[in-house]
Amino acid sequence: MRAHFGLRLFLQRFVVACAVVGVLTAGVLVVVVAGGSRFAKHEFTKRTVVRLAGGILAPDTPAKPANFLLFGHDNDGNSDTMMVVHVDPAVPVPLVVSFPRDLMVNIPGYSGVRQLNSAYGLGGAGLLTKTLETDFHFPIQHYLQVDFATFPQIVNAIGHVDIWFPTPVHDPYVGLNIDQAGCVSMDGVTALAYARSRHYYVPDDIADPAPWSWDYPAQQGGQGWTAIGSDIERIPREQYFLRTLAQTAISKTNDDPLRIFGLVDAVMSHLTTDQNLTLNELKALVLAFRGVKPADVNMTTLPWAPDPTNSNRVIVKYPDATPVLDRLANFTPPAPFVTSLLDPHTITIRVVNGSGIAGLATEALHSLVAAGFHSAGPVEVAAGATYAHTQVRWAPGKDNPGVTVVYATGAQHFGQSPTTADTLGGDVLVIVGRDWTTIEHHLSNLPHTPPTTQPHPTTTTTHVPTTTATTFDPRFMPVNPKTGGILVGCPTS
């Protein structure tokens, strides 16, 4: 009984790691296995080993931070989705950074700038790894890779996965056809289509969608529908799907631990790793995710901006990307919050009404200005979303102002915005939720500053950036309807 119990604990821990430490390569999940059991050692031998040239991979020191490059290739030989998992034993929550496939970079040995996803096709995993290291100046200790054939087998080994669709969706290029909004139980083939989708057609009229029609041989149709899909749009869906698959794997293997054996076999038979990766190093990676819930994993996207020379490509957005790259390069954890509060008059805020209650944000702005904060502009209205809870988002590098506003408002939902543009001109963005009148404010407890006379707030309408690293329209993305933030699986009532 003790041996069986120990194996079950290992399997459950493995499920957490394999489902969280993964990458969706247009729908392919890379899964990491670790453990000291005879079963794990046997399965580990099924992987494929690719040898990278000397000097590409950085040395890996046991019990020290490490970067894992996780990627997969499409049918054309390109790396379609790339993530770097940063694991630091000193930090309880790992960092997962998505790199857009359409990011323009300098590929070593090739003149001019090219898409990041072409590096693998030009020179394999070694060139892709070297490109990331030389362009962005952080080390990579290990890489893992899979192909499309793995994904349906992994999902089917776990069982169906429940995915939330805020609206009907069609992608005729991958065979995704969801006729009604709501929760959809997906098998492996359908889930692959969802994760691969980059021609994501949504209805022009959400309340009364036009009938879907598509001439498949001619690839024509879709009147009354608009394709919003792109690599950038797909990344937050991938991150949502990865969290959901992780939670589903945990729940279903808790109910039926035997499911894990099929999952391990499906993964390891299609997994490729570098020559330096050992079972003990994978065990360390698993331990890093011990106790971490899928919803809590720190997933972000390298900050980007449209390429001014090509609207279909993106470039790195500096200085917004610098803190992310520094974290990968220097293995330095985020700076802790300070307990001292700043004078409000040193902080500029922007207030948005996300509550759906007319005038509530104007009332909030008046209170904040009376407490000494400076207004960056008129009150705005969040388009297409309502927030049950007030949220505070501060610009990169504005941790101290952000903490001050969090304390002043009493908001329970807060964090750093991915870019300075997402705070709409302020040091800090306050999205007023329906709880504004019930949460405990501390406006009178701030360092005293005489109220500043400012123009009377007016109201306009805008789209408010969501809490994920990629700005997208929340009407068409799976977000938590109660908070506007991270969703795992389908919403609960």
Would you tell me how many other CB atoms lie within 10 Å of the CB of residue 38?
9
Output the pLDDT for position 421.
76
pLDDT tens digits for the chain (493 residues)? 333 333 333 333 333 334 334 332 222 233 333 333 566 677 777 788 889 998 999 988 766 788 988 886 655 544 467 889 888 777 767 788 989 989 999 999 999 999 998 898 899 889 999 999 999 999 999 888 766 656 777 788 778 889 999 999 999 988 899 999 999 999 988 988 887 788 899 999 988 999 999 998 888 899 999 988 677 777 888 888 878 887 787 777 666 656 666 666 666 777 788 898 887 776 666 665 556 677 777 788 898 889 999 988 999 988 778 888 988 987 655 554 445 688 999 999 999 998 889 899 999 999 999 999 999 999 988 765 578 888 888 888 788 898 899 889 988 877 777 677 778 889 999 999 889 999 989 888 887 544 444 444 444 443 333 333 334 565 777 877 765 667 888 987 5
What are the residues whose beta carbons fall under 8 Å from the beta carbon of 412, sequence distance 6 or more? 389, 390, 439
Reported as type and span, the H/E element at residue 99 is strand 95-99
pTM of structure: 0.66
| Domain annotation for the chain: domains and CATH numbers | 2-152+234-330 (3.30.420.590), 344-467 (no CATH)
- DSSP structure class, residue 109: T
In DSSP terms, 69 is beta-bridged to: 84, 143
Output the pLDDT for position 482.
65
Residue 74 sits at the vertex; the CA angle it makes with 73 and 80, to the nearest 5 degrees, is 65
Output the pLDDT for position 484.
63
Half-sphere exposure of 34 (CA within 13 A, CB side): 21
Output the pLDDT for position 376.
92
Q: Dmax of the chain from CA atoms?
A: 73
- DSSP structure class, residue 105: E
Report the distance separating Cα 320 and Cα 437, nearest Å: 34
Report the distance separating Cα 28 and Cα 32, nearest Å: 13
Main-chain dihedrals φ then ψ at residue 109, nearest 5 degrees = 90, -5
Output the pLDDT for position 79.
47
